[in-house]
Each structure stands twice: as C-alpha cells, then as structure tokens.
Amino acid sequence: MKIWAVANQKGGVGKTTTAVTLAGLLAEKGHRTLLVDMDPHGSLSSYFGFEPDELDNSIYNFFQAVANGVRIEPEPVIRTTRVANLSLMPASMALATLDRQLGVRKGTGLVMVKALREVRERFDYVLIDCPPVLGVLMINALAACEKLLMPVQTEFLAQKGLERMLKTLEMVQRNGQQPLPRVIIPTMYDRRTRASIDAWAALRNSYPEYIWESTIPVDTGFRDASKAGLPLSMLRPRSRGVIAYSKLLQYLLRPEQTVVELKAQAS
Ligand SMILES: Nc1ncnc2c1ncn2[C@@H]1O[C@H](COP(=O)(O)OP(=O)(O)O)[C@@H](O)[C@H]1O
Ligand SMILES: [Mg+2]
C-alpha cells in the first residue's frame, strides 16, 4: 500500500482537486484506492456526498480511540463511493476541535499511521487530503505518508504558501530519517497570462529538484466534476485537465531509481 499526502498551507490551490482526480485515475486503472479527508472543512467528503456535519463515523473516531486507549476500528469509517475501486474515509466537523483537545499529548501524531496500518491489505493506494493549517491533522498526514504532493497555484505570490509548507516539513522532519520525497505541482496554469508564466518560471528556478516538469492547466471541467460528485476522468475523459493529471500520475508511478542507478548515470 502506497500512501501519498496532498498538502500546501494555502487554501484554494487545488489540493482537493488533485486528490480526487489522481484517485479517480488510480481507481480506473483497477487499483484499490482510498481517499482520506483530513480537512475539517470536509470538502473532499462533500464532493462524494458525505456531509461532515451529519456523519457519525469519521477519522475523528481514530483520534478518540487512541485517546481512550481502545482499538482503532477502521470498518465503520470506510465508505464506498459511486466510483468502482474508490473508497473514502470522511472528515467530520469534530476534527476542528482536535488541536484544542489533544494538542501535545503523546502519541497523537501517529494516529493515522496506526489507522492506515489496519487497512494495508485492503488498498493499493491511499491519498490524504490535508488541511491548510499546521496542527495535529497535518502532523499525522506527514507522519503517515511516503510521498508529499504539493499543488501550487501559478499566480503572483504563489511561493509564499509553498515556502511555509517546506518550513513546516523541515520542522516536523523526524530525526535521522530520510527526507520525505516531495513533488511540487504547478496548478491552474493559464499560458495566456503573464502571472502564470512568471510564477511557473519562478518555481522551476527556485525548486528544480522537486518540481514536476509540466503543469495542470485551468479547466472549468473541474468545477463541473465537483458539482457532479465524480472525478473529472469519469465526466470528461479527454479534457485537458484529465490529460494533465494522467501525465502527472505516470510521473508519480515511474519506477523509483535506486541510488546505484543514479550514480551510474552521473558517472
Ligand atoms: N486546474 C483547475 N482549473 C480550474 N479550476 C480548478 C482547477 N483546480 C482546482 N480548481 C477549482 O478551484 C477551486 C479550489 O480548488 P480545491 O481543489 O478545492 O483547492 P484546495 O483544496 O487547495 O482548497 C475549486 O472550485 C476547484 O474546482
Ligand atoms: Mg481542499
């Protein structure tokens, strides 16, 4: 089971859209895919018709279980969606109170690691949609994932949220561990605007080692897809947005090169 987190400490940059679209493409390929909504706003849950203020079971259950010292029960939290191979662990409003409730209590940062361990036989891929704030939820997502996807809107001041995110990452980076692999994804790219062109160039310039070489274009289909409650690939399989995310997925799924191979290439 592979676990990817989608994060940026800025709202409206395409985090939820990236999680839904990539998950839809993975599910279409036949991979058993799980989306995890870790944003108390619950926009990912709402996307699939689960209202965060009406849910009895959400990932909040896991935090409660750990706080009460009882076993984590993932079953009641997992919901199927209208999409084959695609399941969801929804958020609920209660998540917004977590930081106040358990802020610095020991073990709180590893709740999602434990919860996902319970489902590791059931899914091939897990995509975690993160909140835009640094807190218990973000810490949990970063601890649980093996790859971090960072959508960045190609606009003026795009780098501000990203810099904050990278600083957060440094702060929470566990001692002695390998740095978390990360991919910067330029989103909402409009090649007709100066702001997009400049922002993309600045990102490539500042983060050549992390940036994905292409962009996700502006595509109004994403709005229609969220209204329909389906990944865009199921609504408009040939749209520009889907083509771009398919290319991104191909990049994310490429076989990781080993250090030995990289060294051989360099010499
Ligand atoms: N590539 C895109 N082109 C056009 N609209 C987009 C694109 N990506 C996201 N959007 C829209 O922008 C808004 C914010 O995106 P969202 O994924 O919810 O951001 P975040 O999760 O970072 O807050 C949504 O209305 C979404 O439909
Ligand atoms: Mg979101």
Contact 20, 44 (CB under 8 A): yes
Supply the residue whose CA is at minimum distance from atom 6 of ligand 1: 222
Mention every residue, 6+ apart, whose C-beta is less than 8 A from residue 34.
78, 87, 88, 89, 119, 122, 123, 125, 126, 127
Find out whether the beta carbon of 154 lies less than 6 Å from any atom of ligand 1.
Answer: no
Q: Which atom of ligand 1 is nearest to the CA of 39?
A: 21
Outline where 59-212 has alpha helix (H). Answer: 60-67, 98-102, 111-117, 136-144, 158-172, 194-206
| pLDDT at position 101 | 82
Per-residue pLDDT of the chain (267 residues; tens, 9 = 90+): 999 999 999 999 999 999 999 999 999 999 999 999 999 999 999 999 999 999 999 999 999 999 999 999 999 999 999 999 999 999 999 999 988 887 667 778 999 999 999 999 999 999 999 999 989 999 999 999 999 999 999 998 888 889 989 988 888 876 667 789 999 999 999 999 999 999 999 999 999 999 999 999 999 999 999 999 999 999 999 999 999 999 999 999 998 755 566 667 666
DSSP 162-180: HHHHHHHHHHHPPTTSPPP
CB-based contact 228:193 (threshold 8 Å): no
Cα 197 from Cα 178, distance rounded (Å): 33
Taking the CA of residue 223 as reference, the ligand 1 atom at the shortest distance is 27
**Number of neighbouring beta carbons within 10 Å of residue 79:** 17
In this prediction, residue 80 carries a pLDDT of 98
Length of the chain: 267
Helices (H) and strands (E) in the chain, counts: 12, 7
Ligand 1 site, residue 241, Cβ cutoff 6 A: yes
Whether residue 186 contacts residue 215, with contact meaning beta carbons closer than 8 Å, is answered with yes
Q: How far does the centroid of ligand 1 lie from the alpha carbon of residue 210, in Å?
A: 22
- Compute the distance from residue 39 Cα to the ligand 2 centre, in Å: 7
Characterize the bridge pairing of strands 33-37 and 86-89: parallel
- Rounded to the nearest whole angstrom, what is the distance from the C-alpha of residue 128 to the centroid of ligand 2? 11
- pTM confidence score: 0.94
Ligand 1 touching residue 16 (CB < 6 A): yes
What the chain holds in terms of domains, given with CATH numbers, is: 2-266 (3.40.50.300)
If you measure from the C-alpha of residue 261 to the centroid of ligand 1, how many angstroms do you get, rounded to a whole number?
37
Q: CA–CA distance from 142 to each of 110, 127, 159, 166 (Å)?
A: 10, 12, 20, 12
What is the per-residue pLDDT for 161? 86
What is the C-alpha to C-alpha distance for residues 227 and 225, in angstroms, rounded to an integer? 5
Query: What is the C-alpha to C-alpha distance for residues 185 and 207, in angstroms, rounded to an integer?
Result: 11
